[in-house]
Amino acid sequence: MIGSVLVFVLFLGMPNLKAQSDEMFDKAFPFIGNWDTEIRSPEGQDRGNCGGRLGDYGEKLLNCSIPVDQLPLNKRGEAWLQYMDARQSPSLAECAHLAVPASLGGGGFISAYPNRIVIETPDPSGFLIHREIWMDGRKPPEAGVLLQQGYSIGHWDGDDLVVETTNFTFDPDGIDDHLHMASSVRKKVTEHYHLIDENTMRLIIMLDDPTFLKKPFTYALLEARKPGGLIPIWRACDPEVARREVEEGYAGNKYPEDKQK
């Protein structure tokens, strides 16, 4: 009798789950595709703004993924930039993936499944960054569960997709990999995807990290839909080669006694 009641309850719940899945697909469908941030418009595009900061070789940085001149770094953030160098960069010297928000500067491929949206982004290391955005109403894990890409929960705000990501690990390149600006386990990133038309999307990003920022920072990117699917990525990163290239090419080593054997 108990088993019959359980089956009956599950049967009653199935149409509701299917309806939720169908609604998710209907809302997600316009976002599915290959999106690129290499777009120019009268509204402007702040990608590449490095705020006049200098890179590891004393060169002027030109390709930051975040508008650095507006980034409200606190004293700890400024101190980090004085300390950080290329030898310590996990993405440059160790082939580690970029995390949000740095990875958002290059666009990506959006696809949808019954309970989640998947965003895949080509990474400079030669791999795809795979993110799962859970749309089934779940909560993020407890604070002690940390992931390099964080844990992403999504919901709909009208027809807009909103993604909130928490539970990050500490990341030396976690705010921007060109600047080598870190992020802490307190980082929270909120992404707001809004379709301007069927081929143009605005991505509003709110970055909060009290460890390194005076206050939350909001900026936006425009993305254009590209025809076709993902472009195959053939190059794979070798950490041994990457470390050697950094060591041989990095003239401004702050810590010469740390020279790789």
Other CB atoms closer than 10 Å to residue 74's CB: what's the count? 15
Other CB atoms closer than 10 Å to residue 209's CB: what's the count? 22
In this structure, what are the phi and psi dihedrals at residue 69, rounded to the nearest 5 degrees?
-65, -15
Name the nearest CA neighbour of 222 among 62, 41, 11.
41
Provide the residue-wise pLDDT of the chain in tens; the chain has 261 residues: 555 544 444 445 555 656 666 677 788 989 998 898 876 554 555 666 888 888 777 788 877 888 899 999 999 999 999 998 888 888 887 888 899 998 988 788 899 888 999 998 877 666 788 899 999 999 999 999 999 999 999 999 999 999 999 999 999 999 998 889 999 999 999 999 999 999 999 999 999 999 999 999 999 989 999 886 555 554 566 777 677 666 666 656 666 666 555
d(CA 119, CA 108): 6
